[in-house]
Amino acid sequence: MEINLISDTVTRPTKEMLAAMMHAKVGDDVFGDDPTVNELQVKVATMFGMEAALFFPSGTMANQVAIKLHTQPGDKMYCDKYAHVYNFEGGGAAFNSGVTCSLLNGKRGMFTAMQLKQALTDKGNIHLPYSSLVCIENTTNKGGGACWDFEELKKIKHVCEENELKYHLDGARLFNALVAKNESPKQYGALFDTISICLSKGLGAPVGSVLMGSKLDMQKASRIRKLFGGGMRQAGYLAAAAIYALDNNVERLVQDHEKAKDLAAVLTECDFVKHVEPVETNIVIFTIQDDIDNDFFIAKMKEKNIFFIGMGEGKLRMVTHLDYTDEMHQKCIDILRGF
Ligand SMILES: *Cc1c(COP(=O)(O)O)cnc(C)c1O
């Protein structure tokens, strides 16, 4: 039995999801004619109370199109030093949009409105890159699945409004935060200019992300998506999986969160473990004692059929998900305890 905790992206579609895909009505989405893609877009926009939504092949592309949408080459965007848009999108902000990132020194991927305020530079000074965008991530990936305090997000919004900055949410795992904190999609829809969500993470679809925002912004985003090569044809087969995921796999995220908390508790008791980050959702980040090499530890666990990865800076990460069963969970706990 292979226990894969590398990411919540490793899930495979269930029979029921595959059936939904097989029966999807499709058309050419580049012409706006795919009824299932249209259904998904309306469903997501309505859920978040936003005007419009667009289906994307990946979360990276959804974020990159949002950055392009909100900036001009030479501009500056603000994000946490752990941000996916900065660390894990291949330098896309610079490559695709010619944008500089100003990194904020947050905690677990989350900065404060005060930190943002202090980092802001004068838009009138021609020496300085022009500030145009703030991007936050909820839950934070490299921050260990941490959830933002909604009040802080509102304060950041206020800073954005005062300084004419656009506000983008990388919500690859937003549903984990919504479930963990009992928040509603509409709260978020009311706060941000654009939001990206992933269906291919904890929700278990094989492919797909959605970007949402105003109708005008999504018209522009549609053009940029085409420019970036992300216009898809009979994408309804994929949108059907996304619709199935939204209808069936949101509430069950609590189970992933419980399992992650169990793993954190077990790791905390292991003497080879140095530190375990607090767990709020489905990501466990931990470090091991200095005299054990990370790659050696990963390889040893691999021999026991447990797969996970490092996140840089000595951090190791385990992610729970839909395909991580109760049986695997028990086995994983036993192996960790016996290591
Ligand atoms: C996974 C992820 C994305 C997008 O990833 P894709 O693999 O391109 O779909 C964006 N932001 C965060 C925080 C993520 O974890």
Q: pLDDT (tens digit, 9 = 90+) per residue, 242-257?
A: 999 999 999 999 999 9
Q: Give CA–CA dist 339/332, Å, rounded.
A: 11
Average pLDDT over residues 115-133: 97
For position 312, what pLDDT does the model report?
Answer: 83
| pLDDT of res. 243 | 98
pLDDT digits (tens, 9 = 90+) for 286-308: 999 999 999 999 999 999 999 99
Ligand 1 neighbour 89 (Cβ under 6 A): no
Residue located nearest, by CA, to atom 14 of ligand 1: 172
Asked if pLDDT for residue 1 goes beyond 90, the answer is no
As a three-state string, the secondary structure of the chain is CCEECCCCCCCCCCHHHHHHHHCCCCCCHHHCCCHHHHHHHHHHHHHHCCCEEEEECCHHHHHHHHHHHHCCCCCEEEEECCCHHHHCCCCHHHHHHCCEEEEECCECCECCHHHHHHHCCCCCCCCCCCEEEEEEECCCCCCCCCCCCHHHHHHHHHHHHHCCCEEEEEECCHHHHHHHHCCCHHHHHCCCCEEEEECCCCCCCCCCEEEEECHHHHHHHHHHHHHCCCCCCCCHHHHHHHHHHHHHCCCCHHHHHHHHHHHHHHHHHCCCEEEECCCCCCEEEEEECCCCCHHHHHHHHHHCCEECEEEECCEEEEECCCCCCHHHHHHHHHHHHHC
Residue type, 93: A
Question: Of ligand 1's atoms, which has the minimum distance to the CA of residue 63?
Answer: 10
Cα of 5 vs its chain's centroid, Å: 16
Mutate to test the pocket of ligand 1, among 85, 201, 225, 282 (most ligand atoms within 8 A of CB): 201
* Rounded distance from Cα 84 to ligand 1 centre (Å): 7
Give 60-100 pLDDT, tens digit per residue. 999 999 999 999 999 999 999 999 999 999 999 999 999 99
CA 96–ligand 1 middle distance (angstroms): 17
Please give the backbone phi and psi of residue 288, each rounded to the nearest 5 degrees, phi first: -110, 170
Ligand 1 midpoint to CA 60 (Å):
6
State whether the beta carbon of 141 lies less than 6 angstroms from ligand 1. yes
At residue 184, the pLDDT reads 98
Pairwise CA distance, residues 111 & 217, whole Å: 26
pLDDT score, position 275: 96
Task: Write the pLDDT tens digit of every residue in 5-35.
Answer: 999 999 999 999 999 999 999 999 999 999 9
For residues 281 and 267, give the distance between their C-alpha atoms in angstroms, rounded to a whole number: 16
137 pocket-lining for ligand 1 (C-beta < 6 Å) = yes
pLDDT at 9: 97
State the pLDDT confidence band at 339, using cuts at 50, 70 and 90. Answer: confident
Q: What is the pTM of this model?
A: 0.97
Please say if the pLDDT value at position 313 is more than 90.
Answer: no
Which atom of ligand 1 is found nearest the CA of 170? Answer: 11
Is 253's C-beta closer than 6 angstroms to any atom of ligand 1? no
SS3 per-residue string spanning 214-268: CHHHHHHHHHHHHHCCCCCCCCHHHHHHHHHHHHHCCCCHHHHHHHHHHHHHHHH
Tell me what the pLDDT averaged over the chain comes to: 97
What is the pLDDT averaged over residues 262-278? Answer: 96
CB of 8 within 6 A of ligand 1: the answer is no
Confidence of residue 187 (pLDDT cuts 50, 70, 90): very high
Averaged pLDDT, 178-186: 98
| Average pLDDT of the residues in 145-168 | 98
Q: Given this model, what pLDDT does residue 203 score?
A: 98
Q: C-alpha distances in angstroms, 72 versus 67, 88, 157, 307?
A: 9, 21, 21, 41
Cis preceding linkage at 139, omega within 30: yes
Distances (CA, A) of 243 to 51, 174, 250, 293: 18, 16, 11, 43
Q: Is the pLDDT of residue 311 over 90?
A: no
